[in-house]
Amino acid sequence: MTQSSDRISCPKCQASNFANSAVCWQCGQPLSGPDAQTASNQPVGPTPPPPPTPSFEPARPTYAAKPQNYLVWSILTTLFCCLPAGIVSIVYAAQVDSRYASGDYAAALDASNKARTWAWVSFGVGLAVSLIYGVFAFLAVVIGNMK
Ligand SMILES: [Zn+2]
């Protein structure tokens, strides 16, 4: 017979209580007997299903749509904006169709991006030239009216 069998320490104030007492005599903390501790077994439930195996996308060839060749934009910017950059854009735009026809989708997409970039360059240069020309024309008119 051990002395600790009929004694239980309060989890709140560590006071020694009788094992059959419901609450702590010192602080009133509800005491849970040793039966309540051991009775809380793990709930026996259905085992959860194993996580689904991650399905990776197989690297199969996908028939992606043909990237835009921006041919119209490159021709328009060549005519109305900047001739050299527009010609570069037209060259890349022409490569989009040929590269896509040969099955090299990555190269076709690369040519498409370059055609778009050069079309924007041509547009930007043409816009800048137009603005500078407009500024000089405006100054010419102003100076002409000052006389
Ligand atoms: Zn207590």
Domain segments of the chain as ranges: 7-35, 71-146
CA of 35 to the centre of ligand 1 (A): 19
Residue 3's pLDDT is 53
Alpha-carbon gap, residue 110 to 42, rounded angstroms = 60
Rounded to 10 deg, the angle between the 105-146 and 71-80 helix axes is: 20
* Stretch among 18-32, 55-69, 83-97 having the lowest mean pLDDT: 55-69
The enclosing H or E element of 16 equals strand 16-18
Whether 45 has a pLDDT exceeding 80, the answer reads: no
CA of 1 to the centre of ligand 1 (A): 25
For the segment 76-104, the average pLDDT, to the nearest whole number, is 84
Whether 40 has a pLDDT exceeding 50, the answer reads: no
Query: Taking a C-beta distance cutoff of 8 angstroms, is the pair 122, 70 a contact?
Result: no
CA of 23 to the centre of ligand 1 (A): 8
Query: Taking a C-beta distance cutoff of 8 angstroms, is the pair 101, 95 a contact?
Result: no
Whether 26 has a pLDDT exceeding 90, the answer reads: yes
Whether 55 has a pLDDT exceeding 70, the answer reads: no
